[in-house]
Amino acid sequence: GMKKISEGYEVYRRKLYESLNRNPSMPFIMCMMNNRRISRMRFSKLSLLIEEFAREKERYGFRDGDRIFLLTSSIADAHITFEILSANHITVVSADPGIPAPELLRMLEDTEVAAIFTDRKCLRLIDSYKKVPIFQLYGLKSNFALLREASEASESHEPTPESIAIIFSSGTTARMK
């Protein structure tokens, strides 16, 4: 179980680094912003952010296979954060910020996450959940930072990367399907 999954993470990480190192100046992601400007991140920057998180991972107590809850309205920031966390053996549980706050809180309980990664815009939706620390996610305009530490005792969670939750919601009504 765990050994096979860990080997899968290593294959993913190795292939990602090969691609990043082969084309460091190539844009990893480009996004049209509201002001009609195009923001971009190059592979070389993504590689630096992956390494930065690798250094911070132990400091904040993350372990291989931990689940992180990702909540943002920015597709680009979600993609960037997903790549950084996945390259560091972290499982990402992503949710649509259009889901009502009570449903999001139930999802947090059900998925037993080690932390939440969000932006300041979505923080209000899950700010009442005090069991895990909340971090600002990586993005085109933001960088990883601790927004709030956990203030309530949480049951110890064991990383279980072999479990997965996929939650579908409508893009217009945010109703779960």
pLDDT tens-digit profile of 143-175?
788 888 887 655 545 544 444 444 444 455 545
| Segment 37-87, tens digit of pLDDT | 677 788 888 888 888 999 999 889 999 989 999 999 888 888 889 989 988
Q: Is there a contact between 45 and 53 (Cβ–Cβ < 8 Å)?
A: no
Q: Does the pLDDT of residue 94 top 80, yes or no?
A: yes
Query: In which band, very low, low, confident or very high, does the pLDDT at 131 lie, cut at 50, 70 and 90?
Result: very high
Average pLDDT of 105-131?
90
User: Could you tell me the pTM of the whole model?
Assistant: 0.73
CA–CA distances in Å: residue 79 to residues 7, 100, 155? 23, 22, 29
Compute the distance between CA of residue 123 and CA of residue 106 in angstroms, rounded to an integer. 16
Q: Both tokens of residue 4?
A: 């096979």
